[in-house]
Amino acid sequence: MKVAVACDHAGFPLKETVLDVLRVAGFEVLDLGTDSAAAVDYPDFAEKVGHALQTGEAERGILLCGSGVGACIAANKMRGIYAGVCHDTYSAHQGVEHDDMNVLCIGARIIGPEPAREIIAAFLTARFVGNDPGQERHQRRVAKVRKLEAAK
């Protein structure tokens, strides 16, 4: 699986940890910046990750900013991007399993490297279960979310 990763200046201190986690786990990484702690705008980097998913250049994305919230809001403005802020493993895997989340947003000022490692692993090993027998309710709910998206 190819994973697009980007951050703003506030997320930059955690970025190298994220890249290492992905590479060690055998994922192909698309590093979309930023490459320093110089001030930049998180929407620009959320757009890069979103575009990579929209074009099929990556299958999932990880965004880092100070709280995770700004990057998440920006990413969710893009068609086909379903981002969630996750600072725990349950939300990270459940967001994929039940909600078909494709972008993980992490606040680098909220969590440190060790929780980030576990959260990323939970996100990337999860799969959407909406097509499994007995799990159709998740497909129905995701379809309703996509209908909301199409109506805007």
Q: Of 7, 9, 51, 65, which is the active-site residue?
A: 65
Q: CA 152 to CA 116: how far, in whole Å?
A: 34
Whether 98 is a known active-site residue: answer yes
Q: Of 9, 86, 93, 98, which is the active-site residue?
A: 98
- H/E stretch holding 106: strand 103-107
Whether 87 is a known active-site residue: answer no
| Cβ count near 42 (within 10 Å) | 28
Q: CA 118 to CA 115: how far, in whole Å?
A: 5
Question: Which positions ≥6 away from 83 have C-beta within 8 Å?
Answer: 46, 61, 63, 71, 72, 75, 76, 101, 102, 103, 104, 105
List the catalytic residues. 65, 98
